Amino acid sequence: MPNLLPAIYIAVLVILSGNVGAHEQKSSITVVLANKNSGLLEISHRFNIHDAEHALTQLFGGKTDIMNDPLTQTRFSDYIQGHFSLRISDKHPIALSYVGHEVDGKFFWVYQEAPLPPSTPQIQVFANALQSVWKRQTNLVNFEGLGSIQSLRFTLNTEWQTVHFNHP
């Protein structure tokens, strides 16, 4: 049994260090779902609550409580909406409407929608939320409902990206 103690100690350290390092990667996930039944692009942004609170403190100063304070929730939701855009081309932005936000466990969700563009072959996307706070922030945007699922990855200084669709 004494020979197992160093191995158990090392195993516990490895497990704990993995958990600490796992959250070091700052990331968000956005899903843009083309719902042909409703005729809408349904957009869901998911952020870690811990990241949201730390970001709000750095962005706006003061204490934040995104779990319980509706004003803090609204501020973060507004911030997210201001850092995500869709357009058909440089001259044709897609107007996004705010649907709502919610706290769900360890995540904060922001919901938006827009009319589904008719038979557009592509949509341009911009997503830079929290990248002014953390240089390693990654924002993944998945498109579903217009053919195969497509993903775009936004890191610091990523400009507009384009997703292409094949319409039936």
Spatial distance between the Cα atoms of 96 and 21, rounded to a whole number of angstroms: 35
Do the domain assignments include residue 129?
yes
Residue 19 falls inside a structural domain: no
Q: How confident is the model at residue 6 (pLDDT cuts 50, 70, 90)?
A: very low
Q: What is the count of structural domains for the chain?
A: 1
Q: Which of 20-24, 36-40, 103-107, 158-162 has the lowest mean pLDDT?
A: 20-24
Q: Is the pLDDT of residue 108 over 60?
A: yes
Residue 86 domain flag: yes
Q: Is residue 72 part of a domain?
A: yes
**Could you tell me if 141 and 125 are in contact, meaning their C-beta atoms sit under 8 angstroms apart?**
yes
Query: Which residue segment(s) compose the domain that 138 sits in?
Result: 25-164
Single pTM value for the model: 0.83
Q: What is the pLDDT of residues 70-96, one digit of tens each?
A: 999 999 999 999 999 999 987 899 999
> Residues near 110 by Cβ (< 8 Å), separated by ≥ 6?
44, 45, 47, 76, 77, 80, 81, 100, 101
Identify the pLDDT of residue 14: 42
Single out the residue of 90, 139, 89, 98 nearest to residue 117, CA to CA.
89
Residue 100 is assigned to a structural domain of this protein: yes
Q: How far is CA 51 from CA 24, 96, 137, in A?
A: 10, 24, 10
15 falls within a domain: no
In a domain, residue 101? The reply is yes
Q: Taking residues 48-70, report their average pLDDT.
A: 90
Average pLDDT, stretch 120-138? 94
